[in-house]
Amino acid sequence: MDVKLINPFINATVNVLGTMAFVESEAGKPYLKKDDVARGDVSGVIGFTGETNGTLSITFNELCILKIVSNMFGEEMTEINDEIADAVGELTNMISGQARKELEEVGKKYQAAIPTVIIGKNHQLETKTQGPKIAIPFKTEFGSFTIEVCLEG
C-alpha cells in the first residue's frame, strides 16, 4: 500500500488527539497485520467508499482511552461505559474525516459510514474490505493504541 495513503491517517490521529484531548501521540513503525484480533480493549471501526472501499479501526488499551476521554470531558473517567463508547465513535469519525480530507487533496475521494464501537478484551476486528491491513501502533504518556487501515486496490 502506498505510504501516501497511510500518512493522512497518521496525521489525522495525531492532530485529533492533540486538539480534542490534549494528548500527544507518537506513531510507531507500520506493519502488515495478518489476523483479526484487536490489540486493546475498545475499538472504533468505520468503513468508507469512493475511489475504493476501505476501513479504519482504532483500538485503545483501557487506561489509554480512559485518560483520553477524561481529558476530553474534563472529568475523571474510571470505567469503560456508554460515554467512553460514544467518545471512541466520535474520535473514529473525526480521524476518518480529517484523513479523508487530506486524501481528497491528492485526488482520492471517500464517503464514510457511521462508526461502530466494539468493547472487550481480544475482540475481533473483521473487515469486509479486501486488501492489505496496515497497523500503526501509537504511544502516549497514558498507554498505547493502534490504528488499522485497509484499502482495496
Domains of the chain by residue range:
3-151
Confidence band for 52, pLDDT divided at 50, 70 and 90: confident
Query: Which residues, including other chains, have CB under 8 Å from residue 8's CB and lie 6 or more apart?
Result: 98, 99, 100, 102, 103
Q: Which pLDDT score, from 0 to 100, does residue 41 have?
A: 94
Rounded distance between C-alpha atoms, residue 79 and residue 91, angstroms? 18
The arrangement of secondary structure in 3-151, i.e. its CATH architecture, is 3-Layer(aba) Sandwich (3.40)
Rounded distance between C-alpha atoms, residue 110 and residue 122, angstroms? 29
Q: Could you tell me which residues are beta bridge partners of residue 153?
A: none
Residue written as grid cell 456508554: 82
Q: Summarize pLDDT for 110-153 with one digit per residue, the tens.
A: 999 999 999 998 788 876 677 889 999 999 999 999 999 998 86
Q: Which pLDDT score, from 0 to 100, does residue 1 have?
A: 55
Whether the predicted pLDDT of 37 surpasses 90: no
Nearest to 118 by CA among 70, 72, 60: 60
Query: How much is the pTM?
Result: 0.93
